[in-house]
Amino acid sequence: MSSIAPRYRIGLIANRAHQDATDSALVQLLTGSGHRIESLQPELIVVGRTLDAIGQMNLLPGYPHLVRFPYGRQGGLMKLVSRTVDPDPERTLDAVIYLVDPVDPSSTFPEAVALKRQCVIHGKPFLSTLAGAQEWFELEAIANGAAPDSFLDERFHLEQEGIALIAHDAMKSRMLELAEKHFEVLDRFAFRCATGTTGGLLNQLAMKIKGDAGRNWVRPFLSGPLGGDAQIAELILERQCRRVLFLEDPHVARQHEADIQLLERAARTVTGYASCMSDVKWGDRWLSLIKARAL
């Protein structure tokens, strides 16, 4: 393994169901993306039991940039939250991979919820599905000069893919900014869908850019509180919508929190297929990088 200094610092944790089997999400990630990890040389800060699983299954043998954090019950996840918000560039995390089993109650513990919230606040990718983590490694490797991994080509044929675009009220203007900035790549998707008001605003933007051809650029569903999140969740479960860009406002109480969790849970249920992005900074970078990777 290389002795190159780490370029990234990534927190890593997987729920128990994603660790133990030989075909678990953790195994698939570290074997399938092992060549990307080797090229990027990230420092992986791994919570106790997840690191135990890496050792027991001989994943990443000899990798020099593994750091152990305590077991979750001893505060390992809480320490990841602290590192997410740490302003010290020698300590702060660049991204968090938390492979979430949607039926594991530990993923609803306060420290787990806080980890995602602080990632959103501080613009750090929070990657809670296998597909999302694989895509992060692929896109960052390409940004660092690597050739595309042909094994992943299928998911980058955007003309065959769907994307959901959702934004809370305070984030709708940011969604429109992102959509206008990256309109070319979003326009390549086979279809776009959105909840309520966001869908209407995006169609207005598309008409401004494409004229009458943009009238139905986005398929609008119901608003989130009225069930739009559930409608999009069904598309994810039916493998008709692989990616969700959901710009969340972490500073307000959300009366339809259960609907938001349902959408995320759908993506985590099909962890090898779907991914969610929840903040403007990563959404912006992702749209820039996927343009370079798309086939």
Q: What's the length of the chain? A: 295
> Is 229 designated active site?
yes
Pick the catalytic residue from 229, 259, 279, 284.
229
Q: How many CA atoms lie within 13 A of 280 on its CB side?
A: 17
Beta bridge partners of 95: 10
Q: What are phi and psi of 192, to 5 degrees?
A: -125, 140
SS (HEC) of the chain: CCCCCCCCEEEEEECHHHCCCCCCHHHHHHHHCHHHHHHHCCEEEEEHHHHHHHHHCCCCCCCCCEEEECCHHHCHHHHHHHHHHCCCCCCCCCEEEEECCCCCHHHHCHHHHHHHHHHHHCCCCEECCHHHHHHHHHHHHHHCCCCCCHHHHHHHCHHHCEEEEEECHHHHHHHHHHHHHCHHHHCCCCEEEEEHHHHHHHHHHHHHHHHHHHCCCEEEECCHHHCHHHHHHHHHHCCCCCEEEEECCCCCCCCCHHHHHHHHHHHHHCCCCCEEECCHHHHHHHHHHHHHHCC
Q: What are phi and psi of 43, to 5 degrees?
A: -80, 120
- As annotated, the active-site residues are 229
